[in-house]
Amino acid sequence: MAALSVVLVTGASTGIGATYADRFARRGHDLVLVARDKARLDALAVRLRGETGVTVDVLQADLTQPGDLAAVETRLRDDRRIGVLINNAGATLGGGFVDQSTDDVARIVALNTTAVVRLASAVAPRFAEAGEGAIVNVGSVVGLAPEFGMTVYGATKAFALFFSQGLSLELGPKGVYVQAVLPAATRTEIWERSGVDVNTLPAVMEVDDLVDAALVGFDRREPVTIPPLHDAGQWDAHQLTRQAMIPGFAQIHAAERYRAAN
């Protein structure tokens, strides 16, 4: 029997990332855990080794720092045992765009988009060559809804969705599975770090429920998994409406409604 692939999880010290690590360990996968907080990573690694018997490597890295990011890229590029990348690390900011500092915004963009792309880029050629592998990008329903008012965070998560869909079209025919996971509000530390009391939110999913649902989508090889969405037909209708516009984009002249009135 072929050995199960190693799973690399970013943002693995707590919340969604730690729960992904737990679930894959219980499936028998060895792990590489990536996050800034080494003490938490070490504690999680000790627990998972003891409870499941899998091998767990810890890689301390701040993915907004070029040197740390490069180290994780190198591990993905060179370690051919790694067959699953969980691009989970992410952050948000409190307040509105005009109140957020440019440097803080840049860090969020670096973590939520640049790191996601660079890590996927490090591993995708190897996966495509092997004809197997999986990339999971954790986005958010906020990327579908500017009405939520989280402008920068939502934009980065819209990017994660588009990036995943594009990768799926490119890599799917080569045997590589790409999944976008779009949580709604989930009980993680991301809220506290952005200055929001999670208990004031109207509906919050527990992280175990979120990850377990995401893994059902993973096992079904869904390209987009939206755990809080009960009516899958709404997503299907959204896709059909979007795709129906595509033939109309190839035009020589602007639409009649944009021509100057006489």
* pLDDT single digits (tens) 48-58: 999 999 999 99
What are φ and ψ of residue 93, in 5° steps? -130, 145
pLDDT 10s per residue in the chain (262 long)? 468 999 999 999 999 999 999 999 999 999 999 999 999 999 999 999 999 999 999 999 999 999 999 999 999 999 999 999 999 999 988 899 999 999 999 999 999 999 999 999 999 999 999 999 999 999 999 999 999 888 999 999 999 999 999 999 999 999 999 999 999 877 766 656 666 666 766 777 789 999 999 999 999 999 999 999 999 999 999 999 999 999 999 999 999 999 886 5
The reported pLDDT for the residue numbered 1 is 44
For residue 7, list its beta bridge partners. 31, 84
Q: How many CA atoms lie within 13 A of 223 on its CB side?
A: 17
Domain-located, residue 237: no
Domain-located, residue 225: yes
pTM: 0.93
Domain-located, residue 249: no
Beta strand extents in the chain (DSSP E only): 6-10, 31-35, 56-60, 82-87, 134-138, 177-181, 224-225
Which domain covers residue 140, as residue numbers?
6-232
Domain-located, residue 227: yes
What is the secondary structure of 173-190 as a DSSP string?
GGT-EEEEE---SBSSTH
The reported pLDDT for the residue numbered 105 is 97
Domain-located, residue 248: no
Tokens standing for residue 178? 């790409």
CA nearest neighbour of 7 among 23, 27, 24: 24
The reported pLDDT for the residue numbered 185 is 76
Domain-located, residue 241: no
Domain-located, residue 15: yes
CATH code of the domain covering residue 195 = 3.40.50.720
Residue 202: other Cβ atoms inside 10 A? 5
Domain-located, residue 87: yes
258 flagged as catalytic: no
How many percent of the chain have pLDDT more than 70?
Answer: 94
The reported pLDDT for the residue numbered 24 is 98
Structural domain count, the chain: 1
